[in-house]
Each structure stands twice: as structure tokens, then as C-alpha cells.
Structure 1
């Protein structure tokens, strides 16, 4: 199974993915965490953040997740998932796909700003930020919708139910 956790920068994707993986592993599941930022670094940061580079990175991740799943390894993937056609591809090409959308208000994302992305955008140091000057088409029918407008504890309350999807019966 592939659990595809998507949302804007700062929404809590990696936080939730880490918790899901830890919980699933403690329950005996063979599971791998795939994080979009880590995959960029793993491949030598050979791509920028243009739309075409974002598309190429996402396609690498999609195919990696499908391959791992085909090998019997569960995957929890934390990814921006900017392109609706990629979500569609995942649904059509991964036999057990579960899409999780973490929806967080922009003002909270800007306040969290763990990577300093929103601050750099505000000062003109960067462009093409999803949710600001780069459109982020929200998923129409995620399997799980999480509104992360509160505490980290509220977000992490979703980790165990998601991890159960990966655990042996």
C-alpha cells in the first residue's frame, strides 16, 4: 500500500508521515518513508523548482513508490503533489493507494514556516511557491482529509488510524 500524504509546505506532511511510519513499524509492518525533499537530496539535488523540475521529481517519486509497493513494501510518502494528473496516475497504477490531504490555513503555514520559504517569498528572494504565486489544485476526493488548523497533537491523532492500514492482520 502507498499512503500519499499531500499538502502545502508547513502543513505537517513529514510530521504525520514520520508518526505513521513509526507506529506501523511498531505494529510489525514493513514500511518505507519517502519524503519529497529527501528524494531531491538523494538524487543529488539535480533539479530546481521550476514547474518542469517539480514534475520530474514527482514522477521519480511516483515510480519509486509504485516499485516499492510491487515488492511488497508499504510506503508512506510525504509530497507536495502539485499535479492532479499525478494523483490520478497513482490511483490507476498502485493497487492499494490511500490519499491523505492535510489542509492548513495559509496564515498558519506562514507562521510555522519551518523552512523559511514563506519569509523568503515575502521579501522577494524566491518565487514559485505553491499556494502563493504557484497554483496548488486541492485534491477533489482525498481518502482522508485532515484540517490542520490546531495543535500538532490534533494532527498526530491521525497517525494510528493511518498506520493500521499498513499493519499485518
Structure 2
């Protein structure tokens, strides 16, 4: 099974993904965490953040998830997932796919800004930021939508439900 956790920078994707993987690993060990930033690093940071580079990274991640799933490895993937085409590809090519969208108002994301991305964009230091100068189209077919505009505990409360889906093979 592939769980695809989507959201803008600072939404809590990696936080939730780590919690889900921890819960699954308590019962079985055939689960891996894939993080969009880690995949970039794994491939030698050969891509930037333009639309074309983001699309190439998304394609790599989709293919990696398909490969791992074909080896009976469950995948929890924390990814920005800008492209509806990638999500459609997943629905068509993955045996068991579960999409989770973490919805956070942009104002809240800018307040959190743990990586300084939003601040740097506002200061004119960087560009190609999803949700600002790169449009982010809200997923229309997510299986689960989590509003994360408050306490971290609320976000983490969904980890058990998602872990159960993996353990039961339900998408």
C-alpha cells in the first residue's frame, strides 16, 4: 500500500508520516518512509525547484513507490504533490493507494515557517515557492482531508487510523 501525504511546506506532512510509520512498525517491519526532500538528496540534489524540476522529482517518487509496492513494501510518502497528474498516475498504477491532504491556511504556514521558505520569498531572496508564485491546486480526490490549523496533537491523532489502513491493506 502507498499512503501519499500531501500539503504545502510546513503543513505537517513529515510529522504525520513519521508517526504513521512508527505505529505500523510496532506491528510489522515492511514499511518505509519516503520524503520528497530526502529523495532529492538521494539523487544528489540534481534538481532545483522550478516546475520542470518539481515534476521530475514527483515522477521519480511515483516510480519509487510503485517499485517498493511491487516488492510488498508499504510506503508512507510525505510530498508536496503539486501535480494532479502524479496523483492520477498513482491511482492508475499503484495496487493500493490512499491519499491524505493536510490542509493548512497559508497565513498559518507563514507563521510556522520552520524552514524559512515563506520569509525568504517575502524578502525576495527566493522564488518558485509552492502556494505563492507556484500555484498549488488543492487535491480533489483525497481519501482523507485533515485540517491542521491548530495543535500538533490533533494532526497526530490521525496516525493510528492511517496505520490501521496499512496494516489491514485497505485503501
Above 0.5 in TM-score?
yes
Shift of 1:167: 1.7
1:67 alignment partner in structure 2:
67
Q: Which runs of 4+ in 1 moved over 4 A?
A: none
TM-score (normalizing by structure 2): 0.97
Structure 2 alignment gaps of length 5 or more: none
Q: Is the 1:82–1:136 Cα contact (8 Å) retained in structure 2?
A: yes
Aligned residue for 2:21, secondary structure, equals helix
For each residue in 1:8-28, what CA deviation from the matched residue of structure 2 results, as whole angstroms up to 9, or x when unmatched?
000000000000000010022
Structure 1 counterpart of 2:156: 156
Alpha-carbon distance in structure 1 between the residues aligned to 2:48 and 2:65: 21
Question: Is 1:87 equivalent to 2:87 in the alignment?
Answer: yes
Gaps of 5+ in 1: none
Matching residue of 2:114: 114
Q: What SS does the corresponding residue of 2:119 show, helix, strand or coil?
A: helix
Q: CA RMSD in A?
A: 1.0
Number of aligned residue pairs: give it: 169
Q: How many Å apart are 1:168 and its aligned residue?
A: 5.5
Q: Residues of 2 paired with 1:120 and 1:44: CA distance? A: 24
Instruction: Give a deviation string over 1:11-54, Cα, whole Å, max 9, x none.
Output: 00000000000001002241000000000001100001111000
TM-score under structure 1 length normalisation: 0.98
Partner of 1:35: 35
